[in-house]
Amino acid sequence: MAGLARFLCLNGDAAKPPPLPPADDGAALSPTRPADDIPSRRAELYGPGVDWSALLDPLDAGLRGELLKYGDLAQATYDGFDWRHWSPHCGTCLHGLRRLLPALGLGGHGYAATAFVYATCEGRVPRWLRRQLHADAWDGHANWIGYVAAAGAAEAGRAGYRDIVVAWRGTIAPDEWALDMRTRMVTFELDAGKDKGARVAEGFHTIYTSSNAGSKYGERSARDQVAGELARLVGHFRGRGEEVRVTVTGHSLGGALARLAARDAAAAHPDVPVAAVTFSAPRVGNRAFCDGLASRGVRVLRVVVRHDVVPLVPSVPRAVVDAPVSKALAKLWARMGRPPPWTYVHAGDELELDVRKSPFLKHAKYDVVGLHNLETCLHLVDGREGAAGAFRAGARRDPALVNKTSGMLRDEARVPAWWYLPANKGLVRDALGRWVVAEREHDDLPVPDDRLPLRLD
């Protein structure tokens, strides 16, 4: 698929891209933390009933910085994932809890990971596909799917509140791919008055709620792991009299899980502001589910790239579409001005990005991999001024990051596609000169139920 995607990308125009911005310091072209004075603008950016749509065109500079920050924290779930089926720790995080963000160059964001989140699921990958996906390597254990992090004292002082982040990754494990295809709607724990009739995609719900008593990492569902850590952190910081906020973020599947987790966080902590900032995420549930988010005060901002197909799915479950009675009822709901309860809809505000705005990217609307890539999305956020404006002249994010796991950069940039790989794919020479999988340092070995002591100041 990657080769096909690169083939389809070869329709970029021939104009030469501008030179890269100069590096004023060592971190200038790396993912950077926002430098805006958030405390003076908290009411505008995060206040009750804030209208984010008013800040999107043109894109507010402070909001842009926050989006890039949460995008970097979401990207860490990919960069830190051990996807190598030949690794003895396949499916875990490459780094220990304390080392995760510093190891990925995100120490300057001011957050510390406090707990890892694992998800176990049974996607029933077809037998004919198991060998191609190396599915056997993933059997018998849960996979690392994200983490919880808390702002340190410096970041809390900058923002004016203690931000707790839950970051989710997108689809990687074979069983997750299989579950993404399950679009039948299932009930999402009804709460009379706020969640009546709420239904979500079966596959997303399964990944979020499944547990496996036989797995040392999957004894508790991802849902329970996040709920437990949020209770610990919120209780700790609120007990010290601090203002606390929860921000849930993720890309693709991670964006879907972020909205499920945001609903739960708002229900468990009704006096704590909750926001969901997602990137290239699919639809999750029906109108009743989205109304449940709004009724709990959850603010949702969805960042999407035009022509990316993932935010357009799922729409309506196939079995429902084919049922004759559904067609008749759909007409009735249309007359009422509302989508039918079996139709998937989006929640919150949307920031749409266009690859044609960037002078660095191939303008290829058929590159399904590149258009869905999180780094492509963040590159466009950094360059976003307004829907009618050109690419921002002051953009500082390194364009080379786009090609970490795609081939979206134009050839003139001279950055190889899919360059983000460990040296020699992680193999090193042992004492006898043989090439073997490198052993992890002790602090990077996976540890069940690893949680960071609460010393963030």
Residues 244 and 161 sit within 8 Å (Cβ to Cβ): yes
Helices and strands counted in the chain (H then E): 15, 11
Give the count of alpha carbons within 13 A of 12, CB side only. 25
Q: Angle CA(404)–CA(406)–CA(407) in degrees, nearest 5?
A: 110
* Residues designated as active site: 252, 308, 372
Running DSSP on this structure, what letter comes out for residue 94?
S
Q: Which residues pair with 201 in a beta bridge?
A: 185
What gap in Å lies between CA 189 and CA 213, rounded to an integer?
A: 22
Partners of 278 in the β-ladder: 250, 302
Look up residue 206 and give its two tokens: 């399964």
Which tokens belong to 444? 């990077």
**Beta strand 162-168 pairing with 244-251:** parallel
* CA dist., res. 223 & res. 228, Å (int): 9
Burial class (CB in 10 A: 0-12, 13-18, 19+), 325: exposed
Closest of 238, 247, 251, 282 to residue 265, by C-alpha: 247
Kindly state the DSSP code that residue 445 receives in the 8-state scheme. Answer: S
- C-alpha 67/C-alpha 434 separation (Å) is 45
Query: How many angstroms separate the CA atoms of 374 and 75, rounded?
Result: 7
SS3 409: strand
Quote the DSSP letter at residue 403.
G
